[in-house]
Amino acid sequence: MNYNPLTEEIVKELESILGSKNVILDKEKMENYSHDETPEEYAHMPDVVITPTTAEQIAEVMKLANKHLIPVTPRGAGSGLSGGAIPTFGGILLSIEKMNKVLEIDYDNMMIVVEPGLVTNEINGLVEDKGLFFAGYPMSLLTCYIGGNIAENAGGGKAIKYGVTGQYVMGLEIVTPTGEIVELGGKNVKDVTGYDIKKLMIGSEGTLGVITKAIIKLSPKPKFATDLLVLFKDVESAIKIVPTIISEGGIVPTSIEFMDKLSVHTTCDYLNEHLPYQKAGSMLLIEVDGTNESVVELDAETIGELCLENGAIEVYVADNFTTQERVWSVRRNIAEAFMVYSPEQSLEDIVVPIGNIAKLMPEIEKISKKYDIKMPSYGHAGDGNLHTTLVKNPDTTMEEWFDIENKALKELYDAVYKLGGKLSGEHGIGLKRMKFMKDHLSETELMLMKKIKQAFDPNYIMNPGKIIE
Amino acid sequence: MNYNPLTEEIVKELESILGSKNVILDKEKMENYSHDETPEEYAHMPDVVITPTTAEQIAEVMKLANKHLIPVTPRGAGSGLSGGAIPTFGGILLSIEKMNKVLEIDYDNMMIVVEPGLVTNEINGLVEDKGLFFAGYPMSLLTCYIGGNIAENAGGGKAIKYGVTGQYVMGLEIVTPTGEIVELGGKNVKDVTGYDIKKLMIGSEGTLGVITKAIIKLSPKPKFATDLLVLFKDVESAIKIVPTIISEGGIVPTSIEFMDKLSVHTTCDYLNEHLPYQKAGSMLLIEVDGTNESVVELDAETIGELCLENGAIEVYVADNFTTQERVWSVRRNIAEAFMVYSPEQSLEDIVVPIGNIAKLMPEIEKISKKYDIKMPSYGHAGDGNLHTTLVKNPDTTMEEWFDIENKALKELYDAVYKLGGKLSGEHGIGLKRMKFMKDHLSETELMLMKKIKQAFDPNYIMNPGKIIE
C-alpha cells in the first residue's frame, strides 16, 4: 500500500474533530506510543497521536483517514507482547486511554458495560461486593485495558477453568475501518441472529475496527483457593496427569502451570528458594478454587492423591497466603531470573494440544543445543500454552543473535506445527510473528483472512502490517 | 440471483464425482429433503439430492456448482426449527447423512474428532465410560447431527452452566463455497493465530461453507443432579431470582427453565397432573448438578431457601428419577398440550437480557389479546431465551392466520428489540425469520454480514435465501 504523509491540513482537521488537546505532535510524548512490551527493535514512531473521547470522533477520524489514505493504529495500555499496537507504517496512533468510563453495572443481568480504556482489574474492584468477578482476566490485569484484552483475545493462567477473554464478551460497539458505528451482540446470553461478527472482532488485533464499548459478563467469584506444587521426575508424567485430573477426578482446576527443569533450577537459584527441586525434571503448580471451603480442600486432596499415584515425586500443599505466595513467586520470577543471564530474549507464546507438550520438549532441547542458546519453557500446561523463551547467549554479538533468533524460531514453529500446534495462544501475531504466518498457515486460510480484511477495510488503513500483509 | 436449471449433463458429472448411488432424483425420496421441522408452507423441493462421503467429493461438487451457477444447500438431520436446510431455490441438496464416522477419540486432550453426520448423542455414549460428555448438547440430541448443531450454534436447556455448541468446537474442516478444503482451529485450547474464522462458521447456517469434520471438546460428566420445581405468584419474582442464585448463592445451576401460567395450566390439564399450580403465576424448573453428591444437595437446599426468601410460594425437590421425570414432563409436554388446541403454531425463539423477561411478558399478553391468539411462553429463563409460541385460534381461517401470524410476529419482535433482545437465541434465522432481518438489524451490521458472505461465496450459491437476501 502507498500511504500518504500526514499534512498540516490533516492535523488541523484532526484538531477540529478532537480538540487540540487530544492531538499530540510532540516527539518526546509520542515516543511512549512507539512501542509496547516487545523488544525495542520492533518500535516505530507514529506521525501523530490522538486521544479521542467518543465513538463519533473515531468515526470521523476513520473517514478522514480513508479520504487521505493515512494508517490508523489503535492502542490500549501498550502492555502487548507481540507488537500489535505499534504503528508500523506511522500515521495516526489512536490511543483509547481517555475512553475509560464504566457506563453501567447491571446486576440483574450480571454484566458490566465499559469503555475500552478501562484498566481490566478495575472491573473486579467494582463488583467484588456482590460476589462477582471478570473471569477472563489475563496475567497483566493490573495494567492492561479491557479493550486491548478483547482485541487480542487475551488469555491467562486460569483459562483451563474459565476460558479466555472472548468467552465473556457479550456485546461490542465498534467503529468500522470505513467510519461506521455498529453495535454487535448485546446482553443476550444466546444469540444466533445472523453471523457472529462480534466473535470475529475478538482477537482481530485492531485490524477490523476500533472497539469503543464492551458488554462484559460477570461470574460468581470463588471464595476459597488452594495451590499444590507438584514435583515430577520428567515432563511426560507431569503432562499425563492433566486429563487424569479432569476425567478421572472430575475436577477442572483453576490453573495448571508448568515449569521445566531449566526454569525451576534457574529461578530457585535466583530466589535462593530451597524447594527440593534437584530431583524434579519438571513441576506443576495446580490451583483449585470454589465457593465451598470443604469441597476445595477435598478437590486438592483428590488431585494430590492422583498425582502421587501417577508418578509425582512430591506434593506440597499451599493453603494459606504465605505458602501460596512462595510457590507462585517461583512461577512469576522465571522471566526475571533469566534477565540476569541475558536481557536479550524472545518471549514466545506457542500452543500445542496438551497431550503433545511432552513430545515438544525434546524438540526444544534440540534447537537449544543446536544454536547454543537457553530455551526455558514454562506456562499454562492446562491449555498447552507455553512461554518458551529464547535467551541470547551473552557471548554472541547482536547481529549473530538476530540471525540465531530467526532460525531458531522458524525451527521451533515447525516443530509446533508438526504437533498440531499454533504460533500464538494468547499474545497474538502482531508485528512479531507476521513473517511466520505464510510458512505455517494454509493458503486457503490466509486467503479467507485476506478477504475478510478487504471486506472490512478496503483501503488497508486499519492497523496495517498486522495479521494480513 | 439467476441460477441455472439442473441439466442432465450436470447430473452425469455429479454421478461421476459421487457414484450413482449417491445421487438421488426420485421425487418420492427427495420429498423427505424438502422440509425440516418448520411448518409445511416453508417446504421446497430440491432438484437433486446428493449424499457425499468425503470432503474431496464436496469440493468437486462446489466447483461444479459454481461453474454452472447451481444452488447448494447442506443438510443435517432435518431437525431444524427455522428452515435453514430447506433448498429454497431448488438445485442441489447436499445431505451429510453418510459422513457419520467417529474419526478419533483423544483422551489425552479430552476431545473427539467426528464427521458432521454423527447423531450428537452418540458422542455421549462413546465417552461415558471415561466420565466425559459433550456439554454443548441441544434438546434434540437423540436425533440431530453434530454438523447441524455447529451450523446453527445450537443451544439447549443447560446453556446457563455449560454454554452452547460453539463453546466446545475446537476445530473444523470445511469446504468453502468455492471448493477449497480448509482446516480451521485444531486441538489447541487457546489460539489467537489470525482471525478466528472457525467462530464465524459456527452459526452461519451453512451459508459460508460445508462442515466436513469437527474436533469437539469433552467435559467431565456430572455424577449427581437434583431438580427443584418452584412456584412463584408472578413472573417478576420468578425472574428476579436468577441473578440472586448466581451472585448471592455463588451457584450456577445447570438449567433454569421457565413456564408461564398459560403453559403450566394447559399442560397440567393435558397431563392430568395435580401440581398445586392454581396459585402459581409462573414456575421455574431449576436443576443443579455436580461430581459430589453432598455439594449438589447443599446447592439445591441453598437455592430452595433463596427462592422462599424471595417470593416463591412453594418449592418441590425432585432428587430421584421418578420425581424428576414428573416435573420435567410438564416442561416437555407444553408444545404437545397446545397441539390438542390447534396444530397451527409458530414456535418462536426470542431472546432478551434475562433481567427483561418480566418486562416482555405484558407485551406478549397485549399482542395475544389484540389478535385473539394464545401465546404461551416457556423456555430457558437462565438464558433469557423463550419459546413463545403463537397458536392459531381454531375459529379463524388459514388465510386469516397467515396474516395474523405475520403481524403478531412483527409486533413481538418489535417488543423484543425494544428490550435489547434478538430474533433468535438458538434456532437460527433460516428461512422463517429472513423477512424480519431488515426491520430489526442495523444497516451497518447487515452490510458487514453481506460483505462477509460475498467474501466467502461470490456467486451466492451456498444455501441461498438464508441470513443474507
- The answer, yes or no, to whether residue A442 has pLDDT greater than 80, is yes
Local structure of B119: helix, strand or coil: strand
Q: Do B189 and A240 touch (CB under 8 A)?
A: no
pLDDT value for A9 = 97
* B149 inside 8 A of chain A by CB: no
The answer to whether the beta carbons of residues A148 and B183 sit under 8 Å apart is no
Q: Which of residues 47-76 of B touch A (CB under 8 A)?
A: none
Q: With contacts defined as CB-CB under 8 Å, which chain A residues touch B134? A: none
Cβ proximity of A102 and A108 under 8 Å: no
CB B159 within 8 A of CB A189: yes
Q: Is B142 on the interface with A (CB under 8 A)?
A: no
Mean pLDDT of the region A213-240: 93
What secondary structure does DSSP assign to A78-101, as a single string?
S--SS-TT--TT-SEEEE-TT---
Task: Give pLDDT tens digits for A7-45.
Answer: 999 999 999 999 999 999 999 999 999 999 999 999 999
Residue A375 has what pLDDT?
A: 96
What one-character DSSP code corresponds to residue A424?
Answer: B
Q: Is A462 exposed, middle or buried (0-12, 13-18, 19+ CB in 10 A)?
A: buried
Q: Which residues of B touch A202 (CB under 8 A)?
A: 196, 199
Q: Which of residues 260-299 of A touch B (CB under 8 A)?
A: 291-292, 295, 298
d(CA B5, CA B432): 25
**Of the partner residues A182, A222, A424, the one whose CB lies closest to the CB of residue B444:** A182
Q: What is the pTM of this model?
A: 0.96
Instruction: Supply the DSSP symbol for A284.
Output: E
What distance in Å separates the CA atoms of residue B319 and residue A402, rounded to the nearest whole number?
Answer: 65
State percent of chain A over pLDDT 90: 86
Nearest-CA neighbor of A284 among A305, A261, A266? A261
Choose among A269, A184, A99: nearest CA to B422: A184
Residue A220 β-bridge partners:
A132
> What is the mean pLDDT, run by run of 10 residues, along chain B of 469 residues?
93 98 98 95 97 98 98 97 97 98 95 98 95 88 95 91 95 98 96 97 98 96 93 90 88 94 91 81 93 92 96 89 84 90 94 93 96 95 94 96 96 97 96 94 97 98 95
H or E, element range at B124: helix B120-127
Residue of A167, A250, A445 lying closest to B182 (CB–CB): A445
Higher pLDDT, B329 or A350: A350
- Amino acid, single-letter form, for residue B302: T
B193 → closest Cβ in A180, A193, A423: A423
Residues A60-83 have pLDDT tens digits of: 999 999 999 999 999 999 999 999
How far does CA B330 lie from the centroid of its chain? 21
Cell numbers standing for residue A44:
516505530
* Cβ-based neighbour number of residue A58 at 10 Å: 27
HEC assignment per residue over A296-352: HHHHHHHHHHHHHHCCEEEEEEECCHHHHHHHHHHHHCHHHHHHHHCCCEEECEEEC
pLDDT tens, A174-207? Answer: 999 999 999 999 999 999 999 999 999 999 999 9
The pLDDT score that the predictor gives to residue A119 is 97
Q: What distance in Å separates residue B242's CA from the closest CA in chain A?
A: 8
Provide the pLDDT confidence category of residue A469 given band limits of 50, 70 and 90. confident
A154: pLDDT strictly greater than 80: yes
The structural domains of chain B, ordered by start, are 8-97 (3.30.43.10), 102-220 (3.30.465.10), 224-334 (3.30.70.2190), 342-440 (3.30.70.2740)
The whole-angstrom distance between residue A358's C-alpha and the CA centroid of its chain comes to: 23
Which residues, at least 6 apart from B3, have a Cβ–Cβ distance to it below 8 Å?
A: B69, B70, B71, B89, B90, B91, B461, B464
Q: Look at the block and give the residue holding cell 460428555.
A: B133
Task: Give the model's pLDDT for residue B2.
Answer: 87
Could you read off the pLDDT of A108-119 as tens digits, one per residue? 999 999 999 999
Mean pLDDT of all residues in A247-253: 89
Please tell me the predicted confidence (pLDDT) of residue B139. Answer: 82
Substitution target from B152, B182, B189 for chain A, most A beta carbons within 10 A: B189
For A198, nearest residue in chain B (alpha carbons): B200
Establish if A452 touches chain B: CB-CB under 8 angstroms.
yes
Bridge pairing between strands B181-185 and B169-175: antiparallel
Contacts of B208 in chain A (CB under 8 A): 195
Residue A104: count of CB within 10 angstroms of its CB: 12
Per the document, the length of chain A is 469
pLDDT tier, A318 (very low <50, low <70, confident <90, very high otherwise) = confident
Residues of B with Cβ-Cβ distance to A421 under 8 angstroms = 186, 188
A11 touches chain B (CB under 8 A): no
Q: Flag whether residue B444 sits within 8 Å of chain A, measured between CB atoms.
A: yes
| Residue B20 CA: distances (Å) to CA of A392, B17, B30 | 63, 9, 15
Identity (one letter) of the amino acid at B442? Answer: S
Element (H, E) at B360: helix B357-371
Q: What's the sign of the alpha-carbon dihedral A140, A142, A148, A149? A: positive
d(CA A117, CA A312) in angstroms, rounded, equals: 44
Cα B300 from Cα B249, distance rounded (Å):
10
Residues of A in contact with B197 (CB under 8 A): 200, 445, 448-449, 452
Of B110, B153, B184, the CB nearest to A243: B110
* Shortest Cα distance, chain B CAs vs residue A441, angstroms: 9
Q: Which of A192, A197, A437 sits opposite B153 (nearest CB)?
A: A192
**Cβ atoms of residues B445 and A194 within 8 Å:** yes
Residues 6+ apart with CB under 8 A from A376: A260, A262, A263, A266, A334, A338, A388, A389, A391
Contact call for residues B99 and B116 (beta carbons, < 8 A): yes
Question: Nearest C-alpha of chain A: how many angstroms from B48?
Answer: 27
Nearest by CB: A428 against B192, B444, B451: B192
Neighbouring C-beta atoms of residue B229, cutoff 10 Å: 25
C-alpha separations of B313 from A341, B298, B304, B308 in Å: 68, 21, 11, 7
Amino acid at B195: Y
Handedness of CA B52, B56, B62, B65 (dihedral sign): negative
CB contact residues (below 8 A), chain A span 197-226, against chain B: 197, 199-200, 202-204, 208, 218-223
Q: Do A444 and B190 touch (CB under 8 A)?
A: no
Residues of B in contact with A384 (CB under 8 A): 187-190
> How far apart, in Å, are the Cα atoms of A5 and each of A2, A12, A70, A197?
10, 14, 7, 32
A200·B202 Cβ contact <8 A: no
- What is the complex's ipTM, to 2 decimals? 0.95
Q: What is the distance between the terminal CA atoms of chain B, rounded to a whole angstrom?
A: 10
What pLDDT, on the 0 to 100 scale, is given for residue A275? 75
Phi, psi for residue A170 in degrees, rounded to 5: -90, -35
* Residue from A105, A152, A193, A296 to probe the interface with B (highest B Cβ count within 10 Å): A193
Residue B373 to chain A, least CA–CA distance (Å): 26
- pLDDT above 80 (res A278): no
B342–A contact, CB cutoff 8 A: no
CB B440 within 8 A of CB B415: no
Give me the percent of chain A exceeding a pLDDT of 70: 100
